[in-house]
Amino acid sequence: MATVRYFAAARAAAGVPTEEIPAASLKELMDVLAQRRALARVLPACSYLVDGLVSREPTTPLTAASTVDVLPPFAGG
C-alpha cells in the first residue's frame, strides 16, 4: 500500500491528511482516488510527487514503501 499525503484543497476534498491505498502504479492510484466525488474535481489540476520526485507519467510504479504527495495548484504571489 502506498502512503498518500494530501495538501491544501486536495486535503479538504479527501477529508484526511494521509491514508494508505493499494496501487501498483500512479494511474491505479489516481483511478481509485477519482472514484471519490470531491477528489475527482480536484485531481486533474494536481501535481504528484512520488517519493519526492515529480511524476507526470501514469505508469510510474508504486510499492508498499512509496509515498505520493498530491499537490493542487497553490495561490499566492
> What are φ and ψ of residue 7, in 5° steps?
-130, 145
pLDDT < 70 positions in the chain: 75-77
7: in domain = yes
76: in domain = no
Query: Exposed/middle/buried for 11, CB within 10 Å: 0-12, 13-18, 19+?
Result: middle
Query: Exposed/middle/buried for 39, CB within 10 Å: 0-12, 13-18, 19+?
Result: buried
Q: What is the CATH number of the domain that holds 15?
A: 3.10.20.30
pLDDT tens digit string along 25-44? 999 999 999 998 889 999 99
43: in domain = yes
34: in domain = yes
77: in domain = no
List the domain range (segments joined by +) for residue 39: 2-71
**DSSP state letters, 11-45:** HHHHSSSEEEE--SBHHHHHHHHHTSHHHHHHGGG
Query: Which residues are 5's β-sheet partners?
Result: 18, 69
Domain count, the chain: 1
The pLDDT, as a whole number, for residue 77 is: 52
53: in domain = yes
